[in-house]
Amino acid sequence: MLNFVIQSFQMKDKAIKRAETICAQAIKEKKNTQPHQMSVCFSSAFRFDQLSDSIKAFENQPGTHVYSRYGNPTMESVAAKIAALEIAGSDISAHGLLTSSGMSAIYLAVTALLGKGDMIITQANLYGGTTELFNKVIQPQGIKLVYIDLSNLEKVEKALRQKPLHKIIYLETPSNPTLHCYDIKALAELASRYHAFLIVDNTFCTPIIQQPLLLGADIVLHSTTKFIHGHGASTGGVVLVKEKTLFHQKIWQTMKLIGVNSNPMDAWMIQLGMMTLHLRMERHSENAFLLAKYLSSHPKVSHVNYPFLSYHPSFEIAKKQMSAGGAMLSFEAKTDVSGSKKMIDRLRLAAIAPSLGETGTMVLHPATSSHLKVDPELRKKEGITNGLIRVSVGLEHIDDIISDFDTALKKV
């Protein structure tokens, strides 16, 4: 292969003879065959044959390649694939941008749409990192935060009637880590009535289980680090938008200026994981449902949060907008905080790790990790108790997963 590359380089330009020039110039290679797997474009910038081509590209940047912070073929292809999943089975279109993380996707979407004096209406039972971002970064920019129960549509409508012109309803459903579900369609209708935007974090479900854009959401976010990639080897996020003008004039324009874009290697890793996403989500959901049923009947477990358990408060909403229960659950054992921590330490198959959505089962103690910086009283009010344990149920054999938790619970 090396000999072929050298020969093709030599044949292209007989005038290039000096070692320094050969080293400095990029290889330009024409291929008669296409690779079976997606190629990766690692270039940070893109060259033009004529200055006039460069001028045209800068005058009409969306869809052209100038600089990888503005857009890159690899990242764009992967974002388009995720967007296609979000609207699969429909006639609508969607547009996507890959970001460096799930948190940067949230920051991009919010700051692209809101400014000083505007408002975010959201739930109190959010992922702890999102709450911290809103309180410590977004609120100091002069953006008002309203935390309310998003299942109470009268309260939501009252908040929407308030003075700020530009508003967002920010929704996480199911919520992390209490697995509460909210009615996306009803909230989308309210948002539309009052000219607000509805943003939905769809990380827990992925488009395989839930498609918020088809239920009326304006923007959907994912941490691709989790289920979409699914193997714990890539960090990223994605912003997905229905309306083309909103995407280009707000989301893309903001992204290219603040530089929260992903990179070609992470994008390639994401698309590799996506090839098995539908299979993984099916197995994740099957295992999680069986583990939830086992835990709910265990004498040493006080309660289990899983949206597809018939007694779960959000069961009817979950069944309406989700095709399966997903991989995530949380539960509390009949013991004190010390006992819960000891139970976690006795797990052998499940990994203690601050992430989710990977092939292996993972556990987290929210009060001392993801929600450590959230006010303790707010945590308690929203059901994020000191004894709550979050589980991302993996793809192992269900008997091995149950056996691991059974052994740990016996010693509580």
12 is annotated as an active-site residue:
no
> What dihedral angle (degrees, nearest 10) is formed by the CA atoms of 287, 291, 294, 297?
-130
From 69, 155, 342, 346, the catalytic residue: 69
- What distance in Å separates the CA atoms of residue 371 and residue 125, rounded to the nearest whole number? 10
From 70, 107, 127, 170, the catalytic residue: 127
From 226, 242, 250, 280, the catalytic residue: 226
- What distance in Å separates the CA atoms of residue 280 and residue 263, rounded to the nearest whole number? 25
Decide: residue 193, CB within 10 A, 0-12 exposed, 13-18 middle, 19+ buried: exposed
13 is annotated as an active-site residue:
no
226 is annotated as an active-site residue:
yes
The token pair that represents 155 in the structure block: 């309260």
- What distance in Å separates the CA atoms of residue 68 and residue 92, rounded to the nearest whole number? 28
From 107, 144, 147, 201, the catalytic residue: 201
Exposure string for 39-73, b = 16+ CB within 10 A, e = fewer: ebbeeeebeeeeeeeeeebeeebeeebeebebbbb
**Are the CB atoms for 400 and 349 separated by under 8 Å?**
yes
Kindly list the distances between the CA atom of residue 45 and the CA atoms of 48, 69, 72, 124, 164, in Å, as whole numbers in the listed order: 10, 9, 9, 42, 40
390 is annotated as an active-site residue:
no
Positions marked catalytic: 69, 127, 201, 226
